[in-house]
Amino acid sequence: MKILAKRDRVIVEKVNFIKKHQKPDAKARAASWKKRVHPHFQRDVLLRKCNTGVKIGHKVLDDGKKVRTCRDCNEIIEA
């Protein structure tokens, strides 16, 4: 859903919710729980490839260009 580049975090849709307690105040007399999305570190998120989450490898081609590859099938991943 969203990338927070300065903090190296990402927000993924429908993943990692936290419950936050809301204290009672003048408007709302009863306490309540609020459900919020909590961001993940970028390193903890896997790329979906080959119908599963895979780790990324790096390879240098013959022309000197560095590319990302799938560690399972060694296919080049386009950015």
What pLDDT does 8 receive?
85
Expressed in angstroms, the distance from the first to the final Cα of the chain is: 17
Q: Residue 27: which residues within 8 A CB-CB, separation 6 or more?
A: none
3-state secondary structure of 5: helix
Give the C-alpha separation, 53 to 40, whole Å.
16
For the cut 90, the answer to whether the pLDDT of residue 60 exceeds it is yes
**Helix and strand counts by DSSP (H, E) for the chain:** 0, 10
When pLDDT is averaged across residues 49-74 and rounded to a whole number, the result is 87
What pLDDT does 50 receive?
78
Taking only the tens place, the pLDDT of each residue in 11-47 is 888 888 888 888 887 776 788 888 888 888 887 787 7
What pLDDT does 30 receive?
81
Radius of gyration of the chain, Cα coordinates, nearest whole angstrom: 20
Answering whether pTM is above 0.85, one says: no
